[in-house]
Structure 1
Amino acid sequence: MDTRRHEAPTRRTVLTAALAAVAATASLTAGCTRHGTADDGRPPQATPAPTEGTPAPSGQPATGSVLAVKIDNVAAARPQTGLDAADVVYAEQVEGGLSRLMAVYATKLPEVIGPVRSVRESDLELLRQFTRPTLAFSGAQKKLLPLIDRAPLRPESPAEASAAYHRGSGRPAPHNLYLRPAKLMPDGAPGRAALTTGFRYGPAPAGGTVTASRTVRYPAARFTFSWSGDRNRWLVSMDGTPATTTAGNRLAAATVVVQHVRVRPSEYHDVLGNNTPFTETVGSGKAEVLRDGRSFEATWSRPAATGGTTFTTADGSPVNFADGQVWVVFAKS
């Protein structure tokens, strides 16, 4: 895949520069616009892990802003780039029963991330747990723009930061928009303290059920996590195919959370008229936490949008996560 940025336009004449600028803008906005029209086409430095048994920092000023990137997840968008470097990956159902990902970066930034796609209303609620996160996305429905503008985040679509995005070769738009995160985060990754998710890390709870694999199904998509004792990770598959990055790395999670939530219709629709689901991440419900080859029944709780999500066992004890990448898959209750 060609991941080079478009070259800067020549400056022989004012006219040549102007034409080059128009051409570059048209290339970036094919399939997306200002954080304007939706692109709903369908088919560094790591910091130490938190001390064992203690929560990741939450409810205190973060050292910086996390980077959250909306990532395409239809077959034409795979394999993705830079997804293995995320600290947390959220999977949600979108129009037509398909899936889309939100990758959150705090401890390191890869060189390139993508393909980048459009934002949903649910994402704005999910991201309120972070302190003014930077949101990278390709566009949004016109009716959603006022909500994005009022949200406590820094929106960075190609319209706001064209130099941070480029179109890769070998894939058609809209599945070929890529982000160079250093262009949005010149000071680098903010560090672990910016991950105000409410997650706790440490030894596994007692008990649990030995689990070889777990599959979560959406109407038109599915995720499977298979335990690898050799890697001490859950290997990720999507729609029945092993998930890798463009660099050939198999996607693997240290902890997988299947979070049962209410998924209801919203007031938005895609270009084909399909309703956009709203995934409610504030409230409480059942969850399954997968780590160390076992599954643990849990309850999740997020009383307010400005707080993180806690996971506890039946007796109220916190469920610790394993150190490493966390996948949270929102499953309909």
Structure 2
Amino acid sequence: MNHRRRRLLAVTALTAAALLLAACAPTSTASPSATPRVTRSAEPTPSPTPTPTPTRVVQTAPLRGTVVQDAAALGPALSAKIDNHPDARPQWGLERTDIVFEELVEGGITRYVAVWHSDVPAQIGPIRSIRPMDPDIIAPFGGIVAYSGGQGRFVRMMKATDVHNAIHGGADDRFMYRTTKRTAPHNVIVEARKLRARYATLAPPAVQFLFAPRGHAPIFGEDAAGMDVRFARDSARSWRWDAGSAAYLRSQNGRADVDASGKRLRATNVVVLRVAIDWSYGIVPRTVMVGGSDAWISTGGRVIHGRWSKQSQTSPITLTNSASGEIRLAPGNTWVELVPTSGSISVVG
């Protein structure tokens, strides 16, 4: 009896000790509502999408055949009647033209129809009055024509085309002024860039001449040093090939022809057209531009004898060889000499 009692007391004592130890154990300080930490692998940071490089559209200047910046292939052509009287020389802007036409006017002297598109200077001039052949020359280019006026019948002929007429003394007079560096009437200057910007939404010109591919001059024709032409007794012009600059250098009446900056006038292509003259306007000669005749095309130090033709007022001039294939020019600027049948044309060299 005493033995069983001692075992019971021992068990009771051990149980009490276990409870006392449990009560004295330290408790956790974590809040029962704390969210357990979850370990996650790092998510990759997405790489930014690269901005695509704009693709430059290769543009070709329609009047030069050269590769140009996009803006230079847009916008309208600006044509102008440029004075070539000795008192008007040297002129402003001729060295930056795309195409120049030289035509016979009264008294055996010449004037220019100059066309700018891919490289328009700030000022051009001096400008003079319109003539009866000018609508046929300018209409294919569209855009704008600047001139100082003219006989009413000639002005009406020019206004009958789709070309915007900017006439000195008219609505666009704010783009023109008289320079003190020349005497009247050889002193009307056009602020070309401002005038063209005013009508920037007009369509660019159509291609006028075909150009050789890959920027090379055609390989056909005969080697020649250049061309000599004469419009009248006192209107002699010459062009000489300069291989160093790959251009033809211009002279008038035996003297180097320069612009207002002193630079020699030059052309990549010189196109000489034999033309008839209509005298139905009295003393004012009208170069007949719709039709065709002989042509001499100088480019790359060679001369090709062919034919020119123009089907209507708005159509461009077509140049063909003896096999009726169209002649291509070298990419660059072009001067077109409209030599009357009474004048002379000579291939040099």
TM-score, with length taken from structure 1 = 0.76
Q: CA deviation at 1:280?
A: 1.1
Distance 1:184 1:111 in 2: 10
Give the CA deviation at 1:210: 1.6
**SS of corresponding position for 1:171:** coil
Residue pairs, 1:152-163, within 5 angstroms: 152-160=162-170, 161-163=172-174
The structure 1 residue matched to 2:194, chosen from 168, 180, 183, is 183
Which consecutive aligned stretches of 4+ in structure 1 deviate over 3 angstroms post-superposition?
46-50, 187-193, 198-207
- For 2:147, the aligned partner's letter is F
CA RMSD of aligned residues (A): 2.6
2:298 corresponds to which of 278, 286, 290: 290
Q: Are the aligned partners of 1:116 and 1:137 in contact in 2 as well (CA < 8 Å)?
A: yes
Aligned to 2:180: 169
Offset at residue 303 of structure 1 (A):
1.4
The correspondence for 1:215, drawn from 205, 225, 228, is 228
Deviation at 1:240, TM superposition (A): 1.6
Higher normalized contact order (CA 8 Å, seq sep 6+, divided by chain length): 1
- Selected match of 2:131 from 110, 120, 125: 120
Residues 185 and 140 from structure 1, CA distance in 2 versus in 1: closer, same or farther, beyond 3 angstroms?
Answer: same
1:122-161 superposed matches below 5 A: 122-131=133-142, 133-160=143-170, 161=172
Taking structure 2 as the reference length, the TM-score comes to: 0.72
Note closer, same or farther for the CA distance 1:207–1:300 as it changes in structure 2 (3 Å cut).
Answer: same
SS of structure 2 residue aligned to 1:121: coil
Residues 74-120 of structure 1, C-alpha deviations (whole Å, 9 max, x = no match) = 11111111111110000000001110001101112101101111110
For 2:195 and 2:279, the matched residues in 1 are separated by 33
Q: Answer yes or no: is 1:97 the counterpart of 2:108.
A: yes
Tell me the distance in 1 between the aligned counterparts of 2:168 and 2:88: 18
Number of equivalences:
274
Amino acid at match of 1:300: W
Letter in 2 for 1:134: I
Partner of 2:60: 48
Amino acid at match of 2:313: A
Within 5 Å, which residues of 2 pair with 1:5-84? Answer: 48-49=60-61, 64-84=75-95
Letter matched to residue 293 of structure 1: G
Q: Using the alignment, how far apart are the partners of 1:146 and 1:244 within structure 2?
A: 34
5+ long unaligned stretches in structure 2 = 1-57, 68-72, 342-349
The aligned residue for residue 231 of structure 1 is 245
Distance 1:233 1:255 in 2: 8
- Percent identical among aligned pairs is 30
Gapped regions of structure 1 (runs ≥ 5): 1-45, 57-61, 269-274
- The SS at the match of 2:182 is coil
Measured against aligned partners, the alpha-carbon deviations of 1:200-232 in whole angstroms (never above 9, x if no partner) come to 344444442221131110113121101101111
Distance 1:63 1:76, change over 3 A: same
Contact 1:198 1:307 in 2 (8 A): no
Q: Which amino acid aligns with 1:310?
A: T
Q: Which AA in structure 2 matches 1:237?
A: S
Aligned letter for 2:224?
Answer: T
Instruction: Say which SS state the counterpart of residue 146 (structure 1) adopts.
Output: helix
**Range that drifts further, 295-304 or 198-207:** 198-207
Structure 1 CA distance, aligned partners of 2:209 and 2:223? 26
| Structure 1 residue 192: Cα displacement | 11
Q: Say which SS state the counterpart of residue 330 (structure 1) adopts.
A: strand
Match of 2:268 among 243, 251, 254: 254
Any conservation in 1 of the 2:144–2:165 contact (CA below 8 Å)?
Answer: yes
List per-residue Cα deviations over 1:208-262 (Å, max 9, x = no partner): 2221131110113121101101111000111221111111211110000001111
Deviations 1:105-161 (A, max 9, x none): 111210110111111010011122123x31100110133233233232211112221
**TM-superposed deviation, 1:296:** 0.6
Identify which range, 322-331 or 155-164, moves more after superposition: 155-164
**Quick check: which has more Rg, 1 or 2?**
2
